[in-house]
Each structure stands twice: as structure tokens, then as C-alpha cells.
Amino acid sequence: MRIFLAAEFSREVRKDLFVISSRKLQHAAPLGRCVLEENLHLTLVFLGETGTETIAVLTHQLRKLLAARRSISLQISGMGAFPDAVNPRVLWAGVQQPNEHLSSLQRDVERVCKEIGFSFDARPFHPHITLMRCSRKQGDVSHIIESCQENIRFEAVISSVVLFASQSLPDGRSRYTPIAIYPLGS
């Protein structure tokens, strides 16, 4: 099963982000595909194909780790593109940095995953919410990013971490199914 761990947002925050992506981005960049509202999240770690025994161990270790964690307030603000605005594959909403509580959560989750045997790229954590996946021939989207920047300003609270299974659908989209939810305290 292909899995990842993510911070999930309230329905209201997901709706606000989806309005921006579906109304503003989709009209400005019709060659891209907006992420479905229910799939909007902030990935902490991507784990890839994982067996059920490893998932059981991971679930147990994460319950212990996250039981004492507190919810995290953060500012969702700004927009960007990966790998860059000239040849984008993804348009995203950012998280105002630094947010030490979020960074600490991500480091601790990654550490537990490494202890179980997962390995990760050396890339630094860049917290973001993917809003749109761009077609290969999208071209420079700097002007789109600039026009949407000021619309992306939200306060959000991360009150749980979710272990998701990711399944590719025939239309090229993904379905994310929660396997385990780890509530954070208030």
C-alpha cells in the first residue's frame, strides 16, 4: 500500500483553499488540474509502498509519539511553484515560516519513521499545500502566482496527523483514504 503522513485541515480551511484553486487558478491556468477539496493537506513525510506489518508497527509508534503533542496554529500565506514558476509541475499555498512547532512535528515523525526503517531524501522540509498539478506545457506562471498571492492568507490549526493510503484513479487523480488518525491535544 502506498502511504504518507499529513496534517489535515478543517473543512472550512480546505473549502477556502479549494475556492482559490478552482475559481482563480483553474480560470487562469486551464491546463492544470486542481487538487480535490477533500485531498488538500500538508504532507509531513511520504513513505511509499509499505506492507501491512510495517504499517501496524508505524501506527503503534506514532500513537505513542503524537499522544503528547499539542495542536499547532499556523499561517497559510503566499503561493509558489515546484520546481519553479517557469516550468511548474505543482502550484502550492505556503506556510509562513518559521513555524518551529510544525518543523518539530515533522522532524519527530520522520525520526520515528527512520527508526522503523524508512529512508528519506536529504531535501529540507518545505511545508506547503498542493493546489494544482500543472500540465507539462503550462509555461511560465509567474503572473498567475502574483495575481493570487494576496488571496492566500488563512489562519489554520493542525489538530491531527493522518496516515493516508494513496490510490491512483483512472482519470489521473488520486484518492486518499485515511488509515489512522492521530489527534493532537489542545
Radius of gyration of the chain (CA): 16
Place of cell 499522544: 67
- Catalytic site residue 27? no
Say if residues 128 and 95 touch (Cβ distance below 8 Å): yes
Residue by residue, DSSP assigns 49-64 as E--HHHHHHHHHHHHH
Q: Omega before 83 cis (within 30°)?
A: yes
**Per-residue CA distances from 109 to 45, 103, 179 (Å):** 8, 10, 16
Catalytic member of 41, 60, 101, 143: 41
Say if residues 66 and 182 touch (Cβ distance below 8 Å): yes
- Catalytic site residue 143? no
Catalytic member of 60, 126, 128, 143: 128
Rounded CA gap, 165 and 161, in Å?
Answer: 13
Q: In sequence order, what are the beta bridge partners of 174?
A: 168
Catalytic positions, written as ranges: 41, 128
